Amino acid sequence: MQSETARVEAFSDGVFAIAITLLILEIKIPSPDQGNLIVTLLRQWPSYLAFLLSFAYIGVMWINHHRMFTLIRRCTDALLVLNLLLLLGVTAVPFPTAVLAAHLGGPGERTAALVYNSTFVVIAIFFNLLWRYAAKHCLLQEQAALKTAQQVSVQYMVGPLMYGACLVTALFNVRASVAANVALALFFALPPTVVRKLGLGQPMDQ
């Protein structure tokens, strides 16, 4: 049954690859008339930060998407639609990244951070919808469903809550919100088994 999800994974990989590549376009090449090259490059620090953060986020999303589909044995039309919704969020990431890079450190940084964090709240919700649909409708490998499905459900469930916390934090402290985003990227890169060993989530019914 592996071939049933192969096209979904291949298409998704292409979308992830394009989205993560587009991020670098936000970093501009300074022109000679902008003055000292080193100074001009250093002034672009918000672009570097936004690029690295979004690169990490998309990379982590791709890792988790790959992990998810190693557990899914077959597809339905509804699963395909939910996967497309997730990819819709992924393709949108370069836009809030550019907004954050343009306004971080300026008067509009709070609004930029809110737009940025809102994007990942929506993506986290789509991730949960996709995974929970697959688990609820018995689309998982039997062995995977028994051993890891509950752990994955717990880890994904806290995603919208954590991103929501970053969103609220951005209302009061933009830099703290960005720091929290970095921590979340690292957290979601952890395998579910590691999360369980660290005591960051316990298996629960779906």
204 or 43, which is more confident: 43
pLDDT at 7 over 50: yes
Q: Is the residue at 191 inside a domain?
A: yes
Q: Is the residue at 203 inside a domain?
A: no
Q: Where are the alpha helices (DSSP H) in 73-200?
A: 77-92, 94-103, 109-136, 142-147, 149-172, 174-188, 192-197
User: What per-residue confidence (pLDDT) applies to 198?
Assistant: 62
CA–CA separation, 193 vs 57, rounded Å? 20
Q: Is the residue at 206 inside a domain?
A: no
Q: Is the residue at 205 inside a domain?
A: no
User: What per-residue confidence (pLDDT) applies to 165?
Assistant: 93
- Tell me the pLDDT of the chain averaged across its residues: 84
Residue-range definition of the domain harbouring residue 41: 2-197
Q: Is the residue at 202 inside a domain?
A: no
> What residues contact residue 55 under an 8 Å CB cut-off, 6+ apart?
20, 23
HSE, CB side, 13 Å, CA atoms: give it for residue 69: 22
Q: Is the residue at 83 inside a domain?
A: yes
For residue 164 the two structure tokens come to: 């929501």
Q: Is the residue at 162 inside a domain?
A: yes
Which of 154, 136, 156, 157 has the alpha carbon at shortest distance from 145?
136
Which of 119, 152, 71 has the alpha carbon at shortest distance from 79?
71
If one counts the domains in the chain, the total is: 1
189 or 7, which is more confident: 7
User: What per-residue confidence (pLDDT) applies to 32?
Assistant: 83
CA–CA separation, 145 vs 154, rounded Å? 13
For residue 126 the two structure tokens come to: 């789509």
Q: Is the residue at 153 inside a domain?
A: yes
pLDDT in tens, 41-65: 988 888 998 999 899 889 988 988 9
